[in-house]
Chains A and B, each alone.
Chain A
């Protein structure tokens, strides 16, 4: 079954098209890398799928139902969380926000929910910072808290916009490990990713995007030098050994 089907998605900012006719579907239990140069429209694609911005055209189905009815099974980590870092809240509290749909309106979080939130913090190595006010965390630590919040949502399909930006190598490994566990549990994960070296290792599907989809499908068929050159234009030159080297490594 397809976890996600996007058809004819077009988005424009002012009068400039940022995405043109993007269509693809993602099978359940897959891990898809969304790859493309800066400004390719990767963040725009995720936001438009989640209906966080107005679209020119396009429909989105999540498990064959319109997105609107499926919000509870969707997890999202934005590229940069635009929050007020001085807000009176701590790491554990932020993670608990991910449990909102499980706690329900007008109710307080139960012990069970708090335990689950702590477990999520532990998975990203942040258990010792649970009661730290969020402005007193480093950039990478903040990112890890937001990943833990997404994890706490216990969603069926995850959208992550550059989750590894600013995160150290061992945390990246731990998070990838976690995502692979999710995948084995049948969860579907879409990740915007810039490091071409690790694409082969991390993802079973790849969407190459530059305003329109250049290629979509299983990694070994899509992640080719020819496709990359088309996606990145001339800019691929200095990255050339990227996909080749990645094949042999790890």
Chain B
């Protein structure tokens, strides 16, 4: 216990807490719009597709400098999104199948490259595999500060575009009629998803970061019928999950962070599913606003 409180007071852990809190909040907020736009699965494919990007940068440049690795992640993630759209447009394959194909091809490639890197280990390769499930404890202060600052920017950006996202997701035809650049807003949202995936993968990992985008908004929807509250609640749920994941995985040796974050998010989801005031199972047919 003493050990634990010492841990909590360490400067690095304080940054880990701030980082995971802001990252969780950003995921929840951005995820709300992704969920309403019915793009949750695409965000999962984008996350998995970040892995080969990280590996390719490492192989080509023999560097573990985080910004470089993350740039690689962003590039392959965007290529995956583009390929999903291209497949849907130019073939008879439907969106769900296109997402499945893309996700497995990119993730498969990522795993192959990762194995290759590990077999040709030079002693400095350790740590790349933490991109799969995330490892908060292994993060240095600089990485966490990057996560915190990045997440804060994303939260501010999303707040700025709140009204525009709302109209163009709810009724794109009407938004176009108003003269709104709907395609541009779609691109902004896509950019936000890539950004949150990229800054989050060190902590949560490519496999599970999408769960942090998807689960908190779904839970939040059980408590409110208003978009403003939904995004706020989703942010809070995301933050709680992020912080509990970071703390537990740091306190207990060798526990990966991503799975704990997702487990916390799932507990919140189960609770919301049962007790949520809007269509929660136990209150179903009860009060209506």
Task: Work out how many contacts link A and B, with CB atoms closer than 8 A.
Answer: 71
B230 within 8 A of A: yes
**Alpha-carbon distance A103/B178, docked complex (angstroms):** 12
Kindly identify which residue among B164, B179, B221, B289 contacts A72, using a CB–CB cutoff of 8 Å: B179
Judging by beta carbons under 8 Å apart, are A97 and B171 in contact? yes
Return the CB mask of B163-205 against A: 1 if under 8 Å, else 0. Answer: 1101101110110111110000000000000000000000000
Q: How far is the CB of A223 from chain B (nearest CB, A)?
A: 29
A132 within 8 A of B: yes
Kindly identify which residue among A76, A89, A136 contacts B174, using a CB–CB cutoff of 8 Å: A76
Return the CB mask of B8-36 against A: 1 if under 8 Å, else 0. Answer: 00000000000000000000000000001
Q: What are the residues of chain B within 8 A of A84 when measuring CB–CB?
A: 36, 38, 170
Kindly identify which residue among A76, A88, A93 contacts B177, using a CB–CB cutoff of 8 Å: A76
A50 within 8 A of B: yes
B224 within 8 A of A: yes
A243 within 8 A of B: no
Return the CB mask of B35-69 against A: 1 if under 8 Å, else 0. Answer: 01010000000000000000000000000000000
Judging by beta carbons under 8 Å apart, are A88 and B173 in contact? no
Q: What are the residues of chain A within 8 A of B38 when measuring CB–CB?
A: 84
* B interface secondary structure, majority: helix
Return the CB mask of A127-138 against B: 1 if under 8 Å, else 0. Answer: 000011100100
Judging by beta carbons under 8 Å apart, are B226 and A90 in contact? yes
Judging by beta carbons under 8 Å apart, are A87 and B177 in contact? no
Q: How far is the CB of B233 from chain A (nearest CB, A)?
A: 11
B288 within 8 A of A: yes
**Alpha-carbon distance A74/B174, docked complex (angstroms):** 11
> What is the chain B residue whose CB lies nearest that of A76?
B177
**Alpha-carbon distance A131/B38, docked complex (angstroms):** 24
Q: Please give 10 more A-B residue pairs, beta carbons under 8 A apart, in addition to A88-B36, A88-B226, A100-B178.
A: A52-B177, A71-B179, A81-B171, A84-B170, A87-B227, A88-B229, A97-B170, A101-B178, A131-B289, A133-B289
User: Could you list which residues of chain B lie within 8 angstroms of chain A, going by C-beta atoms?
Assistant: 36, 38, 160-161, 163-164, 166-167, 169-171, 173-174, 176-180, 221, 224-227, 229-230, 288-289
